[in-house]
Amino acid sequence: MMKHAKPEWLKTPIPSGEKLFRLKRQLENRALSTICQSARCPNMGECWQNGHATFLIMGDRCTRNCGFCSVNHSSPLALDPDEASRVSEMVDILKLKYAVITSVTRDDLPDRGSQYFADIITRLKSTYPFLKIEVLIPDFDGKHEFIDKIVAAKPEVLGHNIETIARLYPHVNRPLANFERSLSLLRYVAAQGAIAKTGLMVGLGETEAELSRLFSQLADTGVKLLTIGQYLQPVSGKTEVSRYYHPEEFSHLERMALNAGIRGVVAGPFIRSSYRAEGLYHKVSSLSDKKTPHQEGYSCAI
């Protein structure tokens, strides 16, 4: 595949600033990981300057090796029983009112780490009663008994990324069956009454018709929140970019998703799953279900 030159609107300044470096030191001193670093997020500078970071729990080694992801793929380490207390300490230091927590996939664990995940949510909820929590979970093999543990911990938003259209799953080193597994997970989460959220990348070779179908599928599952961002090759050797979308095209995709029935959409070249997550949650949670899909949708194209 021919490599495409990165357009001007996809160039960002190198992250810098005292707040950023202070947060980096605080995390390092507590041996905490963030998906911001592990996934080479282009928004890290902005978010860290504002004191926002997405905690990456259960280590920084993933048991899967998706073609779009730069998270370390190697044999994972044992779970850290003290990690919850250190995450709690960072929540206090940052005075967070809204915390976002994700994890690597841990296929090596009997319950895929679901109880560990739920325990951290429960601890934070107990320590900080007014803290809102959004989680971005792996698929837990699609097993309801694992997902139920997360639902029972009552995060405000329960996210799981669909990533791309079904046809491209093999292209990004994911079994095609995992697409249906992820859709089923989102449907189950929504049926339990949780606010279901998902995210996808564009620029991998999808068509507008395929995206339109996916938006309808997501709306039918009960997904209320959606993020759409440009896929950027994280490191050499990973899946290459098929094309770059112009910011105006993201506005078009945003309208498509809203018209399909998804209540809140954030779309733009640099959008990632947890970008401005608190604002999206508050905007959408305050809307009435009586409004029409397009009227009730909250959108932010950046």
Q: What is the DSSP string of 40-109?
A: T-TTHHHHHHTT--EEEES-SEES---TT--SEESPPPPP-TTHHHHHHHHHHHHT-SEEEEEE---TTS
Predicted confidence at residue 174, as pLDDT, reads 87
User: How sure is the predictor about 91, in pLDDT bands with cuts at 50, 70 and 90?
Assistant: confident
Above 80 in pLDDT, residue 228?
yes
Our separate counts of H helices and E strands in the chain read 11, 11
CA distances from 50 to 95, 183, 276 (A): 12, 33, 11
Q: CATH number of the domain at 15-155, out of 3.40.605.10, 3.40.50.1950, 3.40.50.150, 3.30.750.210?
A: 3.30.750.210
Tell me, what's the pLDDT at 179?
96
The more confidently predicted of residues 51 and 5 is 5
Average pLDDT over residues 181-196: 96
CA distance 214 to 220: 10
R_g (Cα) of the chain, nearest Å: 18
Q: Is the pLDDT of residue 30 over 70?
A: no
What percent of the chain is predicted at pLDDT more than 70? Answer: 75
pLDDT of residue 63: 83
pLDDT of residue 17: 58
Q: So what's the pLDDT on residue 7?
A: 75
Contact predicate 228/214, CB 8 Å: no
More confident residue, 34 or 65: 65
Question: What pLDDT does 239 receive?
Answer: 87
Mean pLDDT on 168-194: 94
Mean per-residue pLDDT, 186-202: 96
Which pLDDT belongs to residue 35? 46
Cα–Cα distance, 83 to 229 (Å, whole number): 30
Per-residue confidence (pLDDT) for residue 190, from 0 to 100: 97
**208 confidence band (pLDDT: 50, 70, 90):** very high
The distance of Cα 237 from the centroid of its chain, to the nearest Å, equals 23
Closest residue by Cα to residue 261 from 226, 230, 285: 226
What's the pLDDT score for residue 89? 84
d(CA 141, CA 105): 10
Burial of 146 (0-12, 13-18, 19+ CB in 10 A): buried
Q: Are 195 and 285 in contact (CB under 8 A)?
A: yes
The domain ranges of the chain are: 15-155, 198-302
Determine contact, residues 117/149, Cβ cutoff 8 Å: yes
Q: What is the pLDDT of residues 124-135, one digit of tens each?
A: 999 999 999 999
Tell me which DSSP letter residue 140 carries. G
- Taking the C-alpha atoms of residue 135 and residue 157, their distance in angstroms, rounded to an integer, is 6
The mean-pLDDT minimum among 55-64, 162-171, 178-187, 201-210 falls in 55-64
- Whether the CB-CB separation of 262 and 223 falls below 8 Å is answered with yes
Q: How far is CA 193 from the centre of its chain?
A: 19
The 10s digit of each residue's pLDDT in 240-295 is 899 999 999 999 999 999 999 999 999 998 888 877 788 889 878 776 444 444 43
CB 59 within 8 A of CB 40: no
DSSP string, 260-280: HT-SEEEEETT--TTTTHHHH
